[in-house]
Structures are given as C-alpha cells and as structure tokens.
Amino acid sequence: MSLTFEILAQDTRSRARVGRITTPHGHIETPVFMPVGTRGTVKSLTPDELKAHGVHIILGNTYHLYLQPGHELIARMGGLHQFMGWDGPILTDSGGFQVFSLVYGGIADEIKGRRPAHPEAKPHMVKITEDAVIFRSYIDGSQHVFTPERSIEIQKGIGADIILCFDELPPFSAGYDNTATSMHRTHRWEQRCLTYHQQNPTNQALFGIVHGGVFENLRQESAEYLSSLPFDGMCIGGSLGADKDQMREVVAMTTPHLPDHLPRHLLGIGDVDDLLVNVASGIDMFDCVSPTRLGRHGTALIRDRTRRWKLNVNNAPLRADTGPLDSLCDCYTCQHYSRAYIHYLFRAQELLGIRLVSLHNVAFLISLMREMRQSIIEDRFAEFRYEWLGTI
Amino acid sequence: MSLTFEILAQDTRSRARVGRITTPHGHIETPVFMPVGTRGTVKSLTPDELKAHGVHIILGNTYHLYLQPGHELIARMGGLHQFMGWDGPILTDSGGFQVFSLVYGGIADEIKGRRPAHPEAKPHMVKITEDAVIFRSYIDGSQHVFTPERSIEIQKGIGADIILCFDELPPFSAGYDNTATSMHRTHRWEQRCLTYHQQNPTNQALFGIVHGGVFENLRQESAEYLSSLPFDGMCIGGSLGADKDQMREVVAMTTPHLPDHLPRHLLGIGDVDDLLVNVASGIDMFDCVSPTRLGRHGTALIRDRTRRWKLNVNNAPLRADTGPLDSLCDCYTCQHYSRAYIHYLFRAQELLGIRLVSLHNVAFLISLMREMRQSIIEDRFAEFRYEWLGTI
C-alpha cells in the first residue's frame, strides 16, 4: 500500500474531519495546505525553511518539470525529492491544467471565477483528440504530446508520493453538453491512467479527479464513477464556477458523493475564507501558489478580516511601523523583522523582502490549518470559522 | 574606547598578521573579509545565514542608506543593527565613493583598473567645493549636500561600529598634480571628520583613509599625516591603479608607512588572489560586493586556480553533475544541493539559485580567510599562498 488515510476526528456540525495520510516520505496531517513548488522549488524558500514552519507536503507541476529540466534528468538525479532536497511527501499534478491553460489563456483565473476567458486565447497551441493532447512548449515552441499513459510515465519519473490522473480542462463557458462530453472523455483517460499505473507498479498513490463543471448531476455521476475505481484519493477539478460562491456550491454538492475513506483534494484553492468554508464541506487537501505569489508582490497575509486578510507591505503607513507583519504569528519573519524593514526592502526592491513575506505567507496558512485541525478535534470548528469569517 | 585591536600572530616571511578587533557588537578575527550589505541587506541572505557561515562583520553604504530609507528613520528604528536584525559589528563607508561614482560613471571599475573612465560620465551630477559636495539622488534626481561633518552625522544616525572619513575620489587619470591637490583637500576633510566625531562622541570607531593615487611619495605623505591623528584604524582608498599589479604595488608601498597597532582596511577589494597577496602586504580587513554580485549572475567561487576560482553554473556540463559547487566546501549550499540542481535553478530563473550561490560565495571567502589566519598562526602562510596561487 503506497498510501493510507486514517480519520482521527469528525466534526459533528459539518463534514469537516481531521485525518492522517501516511506516505513513503512521511505523514500528512489533514486538513492540509500544500505550498506549490511549480518548478522544483517553492519560490525563494529552502526545504529546511518549509519544514521548520510545519509544511507537510508540497506540490510540483508535471508540465513545467517535464519541459525543464525533464523527467528523465530528474529520475537520473534520484527523483524530485533528491534533486530538490525535500525529503517529505510530494504531490504532482498531471500536466493537464497547464496544457489547457495554453488554450484559454488565463484558465486558472477563469476556473476560479475571477475573470472571463482570456481574449488572446491561443487554440492553435493545443490540439485535443480522444487519444492525446498535442501542445507547444512555452519555453521554445517545440511540439509535445501528452497521453494519459505518458502523463503517468512522466510522473513516475519525477517520483512524487501522490500523482494525479490526466484530465481535460474545459472552460467554464463550455455549457452542459460540452462539459458532459469532456467529462466522459476524462473518465476514459482516468481509466487509462489507472491501467497504466497498475501495469507499472511503483510506490506511488494515484488520485482520480472529479469533473462535471457546475452541474450537480454531472458532479454526482463523476464522483460515483470514479469511486468505483481503486484510486487512493479523489481530487475535485475542472471548472468550479464563476465566483467563490459557485465554487463553494460545487464543492458542497460533490463531497457527499465521495467515499469517506479517501482523502479529498480541492485543486488550486488557497484563500483564507475558501480554506475555512471548504474544510467544512469535507475537503482534506489544498494547494495554491498564492502565498508565494502574494509574497513576491509584497502582499502579506494577516489576521484581519476587514482587509480580506491581506496587507500591502508597500503602503506608506508601514514606513516606521516597528511591529511584525502579524502580531500573533510565530514565523521566522515575524520573530525577526519589523513591518518597517520589510516595507523598506520592497521599496528598495531587495530580494530578501520576497523571501521574508513568502515565508510568512506559507507559515500563515500552515498555522491556519493547524488551528483548524485543533478546533475540529476539540469540537469547536463552527466557533473557529465564526472567529475568522464573522459568519457561518 | 570604542575599538581595540590586538595582534595575535605576525608572519615571519611577510607583513601578514593575525589579530582581533573588539567592537561594541563583538569580535572580528583578522584578516577578515566582510560581505557588503549596501542597502541594509546582504543581498538575498539573512543575518542568521551570515552568522552561521562565520561572517564577523558586514559593510553598509551610507550613500544608499541616506537616500533610502534615510538615516533619521534608521535611527528611529534603533539603528541599523536593530533595523536589519544583524547584531554583529557593522562598518559604514562615508558615502564619498558612491557620490563620486556619479561623476565618473564606473569609478569602481576604473579605480580597480578594470576599464577606463565611463564614456557617459556625468560631471553635472556632482559639484565639489572646498566645503562640500553637491550631488543628485540616483533615485529621484533630488539635490543633496554632503560635507565631512554631514557624512559623520549621518553615519552616527546609522550607528555602525566602525565609520569612515569622508574623502574625495579623484579618477585614476587625474595625474600627479590633481591627485596631490585632491589628497590635501581630503586630508582637510578627514581632520574635519575627526573634529566633528570628537565633539559628538558616540561608541563608534573612526577610520582614516589614505590617498595619494599610484604615487609612492604621496601615499607615504598621506599615511604619515593620517598616522599623526588619533584614528582607530586606517583604510587604503583612492585610485589603486590601472590593473591588479599596480593595485598590489600601491598597497605594498603604503602599508610600511602605517602604524602597526591599527587595523588596515583595503577598500572594495575581494578577488581570491587579491585577498592572498594583500594580506601578505599587511592588510587586515577587506570588503567587496563580489560574492553576492557573482552569485546573482550565477558564478560560483571554487577551489580551481585554472578557472580563476570561478565556475559559471549555467554551463551545460553541469546539467547532470551530482557533485556540490565545491567539493571541499562545508556551506549549506554545498551540503544540500548538487551542481545539477543549481544549474537548473538558474536556467529556470528561480530566486533560490541566487540565494544558494550567494551564500556559497560568501562562505567560500569566509573559509579562505579562516584558513589564511590559521596558516599565519602556524607559520606556513607562504606555503598556503603557493597552494592557492601556484606562485609566491
């Protein structure tokens, strides 16, 4: 068995639960947030810093690692753990999300409901058939082919503890019929991934990905179909709607159809409020680039709902502010540096500023998840959500 | 007494010596290399990383810190130590070097003999009188005035343990008469710095700066004049000639005229061979931006004289090289990461690459100085130089 999942506590007033995933590279306490190391590095941070701040698992992007430095090289170097110096659990996505992002431009934003399809979408960059997806590299324009089998083969070369099925990402605007057609093809691809995985056994866990867009009967059909296959865990993927409310509805309509004994991963979501609300819907695992992306742009996460938990460190009032980014945070940044110094580092465009805010943001979400787990164990998760959100 | 200097060992076959400087923020073992934190941060690194790798003292640039965030703010934040979180010794320069760089474009390169005066030199950016230097900010073009007294006042606000006199930096091409005229004005400015320093006592040490360009009698005159004043240490500054050989001649002709009981700082020099040769001439202190600047550009320092101690981590043969940057180095980077991974980080333009190579480069020079001190103590410094340089 490459992965086990134990449920340690079940909230009595929501679907939230606390669990422990065991992988060949150690335990993961759930609900968990995993920082994203797109290209074999959680941007600007070392594995030691992540570990010291309670990170249990990180995510790597197969699409990027396949194009550069290539999964063969990573395999030759002993796998991604060895290559990047992270000895804890790793999850890789299948590459599907990034490949299809090329078609629709900012599909990430669109799927999360932040904006409509990119006006400069480049359909010629990707060709989809029943068998494969043909796409061009964002680095040099060279042509590449992904099949479900190829995605799993690449992920086996990279060597993550948890790998994901290759799926098609239809845009939110696809409509019911196109979403259903795409979902059924994705189901066939996931079956092919599973078969290839079973025929080429490794010490890796394979997760399925539920599709069906915003349509409840499709989400149910997808969840039930995938539950009939021997996956080690379930992701919720595909279009999650036009806004946060619809995304939360999609999650809430999907989790009841997923088996309780498997961990559930909501792909690509990481805002403070989304973490709280979706844990209540039964999500166990999250990933998002937001803590490091916000860090690079000088936005620090803080315990202040009235600011949507965000502080722009470039703001002038921080110039002589001797306090830490967040007064309750025990991360390295908050224990050593003032807002004034971090403000100055960003004004002076010094790299250390990016490091310090990225580290703080990761630590902030890790702490939030730790506190969330504790509140579930102590049967006060509803009160905990209310403290953070001001609403249930 | 704000600074004491003990000589612990004197080489029998050169002017090299091992010593210990004591400051209000701790000891400095000499000969010492200090990394440069131009703007209150040694680029991309934390003070904890510097300390863990044996850094005893860092240098801050008064010109940059005065313009941004300003010495008043730094003073309000408790001084530079507190502001940047470095509790070891700090040295600030006087701002003179950067101010005059504006006149001559790349004066740093010119003084070090690497290239002639910049063709786009901007004399209109700076106006020099007997009393003051008027210059414009590189950030917003605003006009500022430095006098010797003002430079010391600013350095007292920043609060470094060691501060430097304000001096004029004539170009290498100045010729004998202009160099002598400039030197005599600098002497008057240094006397004014000393007077202001004595009238406004702080727990800081003030170093004089020997001038005189490449002319032996001027260097001697400057060294002897400044030795008659109660400075706590001596820098060798001004034009150091057209190339490395001339720079080394200038140093060798100057140190015999400096008092033995004061530490001697050669400003802005940090190449491996220059450190070895100038320690033999009696230099105790060095600073240079090179380890972090090279690090940002992907050049790692290595123990390989045939490559001038430099390795371009972007080189294709490193792609699958599982060894560390330097096989004898015990820095964090070399203990945790392969050349292959660092090569990849630079190819992928990931910030962690800059961090890892910058840290290695700093650690490399710190180790070199530590080994140099040990070889002097053990009376085998000549052999040590030969091992590194292949020549004496």
* pLDDT tens-digit readout, A4-61: 999 999 999 999 999 999 999 999 999 999 999 999 999 999 999 999 999 999 999 9
Whether pLDDT at A111 is above 90: no
Q: Do B243 and B377 fall within a single domain? A: no
Q: Do B338 and B242 fall within a single domain? A: no
- Answering whether pTM is above 0.90, one says yes
Instruction: Tally C-beta pairs within 8 A across A and B.
Output: 94
Q: Do A227 and A350 fall within a single domain? A: no
Contact between residue B144 and residue B161 where contact means Cβ atoms under 8 Å apart = no
Q: Do B239 and B329 fall within a single domain? A: no
The owner of tokens 């009698």 is B217
The answer to whether B45 contacts chain A (CB < 8 Å) is yes
Q: State how far the Cα of A300 lies from the Cα of B93, in Å rounded to an integer.
A: 33
B140 is catalytic: no
Q: With left for phi above 0 and alpha for psi between -120 and 50, is residue B384 left, alpha or beta? A: alpha
CB contact under 8 A, B320 and A73: yes
Q: State how far the Cα of A104 lies from the Cα of A119, in Å rounded to an integer.
A: 8
Other beta carbons within 10 Å of B268: 21
B93 is catalytic: yes
A125 falls within a domain: no
Q: Which chain B residues contact residue A46 at CB under 8 A? A: 336, 352, 355
Q: State how far the Cα of B145 lies from the Cα of A334, in Å rounded to an integer.
A: 37
Whether pLDDT at A267 is above 50: yes
Last residue of a domain, one of A234, A255, A288: A288
Last residue of a domain, one of B232, B260, B288: B288
Q: State how far the Cα of B101 lies from the Cα of B118, in Å rounded to an integer.
A: 10
pLDDT of the residue at A114: 45
CATH code, domain carrying B219: 3.20.20.105
Q: Do B329 and B284 fall within a single domain? A: no
Q: Do B208 and B347 fall within a single domain? A: no
CB contact under 8 A, B320 and A85: no
Best mutation target among B36, B38, B41 (most A Cβ atoms within 10 Å) is B41
In 3D, which of B199, B246, B247, B207 has the Cα closest to residue B229? B207
Whether pLDDT at A122 is above 70: no
pLDDT of the residue at A281: 98
Whether the complex's predicted ipTM surpasses the cut of 0.90? yes
Quickly state the pLDDT bin for A295 (edges 50, 70, 90).
Answer: very high
Q: How many domains does chain B have?
A: 2
Average the pLDDT over A201-206 and give the result: 97
Q: Do B264 and B317 fall within a single domain? A: no
Looking at B232, B284, B287, B326, which residue is catalytic? Answer: B287
Nearest CA in chain B to A354: B44
In 3D, which of B296, B229, B240 has the Cα closest to residue B266? B240
pLDDT of the residue at A170: 87
Backbone angles phi, psi at A384, to 5 degrees: -60, -45
Nearest-by-Cβ selection for A320 from B43, B76, B354: B76
User: Where do runs of H (alpha helix) occur along B71-174?
Assistant: 71-76, 80-84, 96-104, 107-111, 148-158
Last residue of a domain, one of A253, A288, A323: A288
Looking at A167, A274, A287, A326, which residue is catalytic? Answer: A287
CB contact under 8 A, B336 and A77: no
Nearest CA in chain A to B48: A336
Nearest CA in chain A to B70: A344
Q: Do A311 and A225 fall within a single domain? A: no
Q: Do B184 and B38 fall within a single domain? A: yes
Backbone angles phi, psi at A317, to 5 degrees: -60, -15
* Strand A58-60 with B32-35, pairing: unpaired
CB contact under 8 A, A46 and B352: yes
Q: Do B202 and B350 fall within a single domain? A: no
pLDDT of the residue at A118: 47
Range of the domain at B74: 4-288
pLDDT of the residue at B141: 85
Name the CA radius of gyration of chain A, rounded. 20
The owner of tokens 């465009």 is A349
State which residues of chain B have pLDDT below 50.
106-107, 109-119
Q: State how far the Cα of A159 lies from the Cα of A81, in Å rounded to an integer.
A: 8
pLDDT of the residue at A187: 98
Q: Which chain B residues contact residue A350 at CB under 8 A? A: 39, 41, 43
The answer to whether A7 contacts chain B (CB < 8 Å) is no
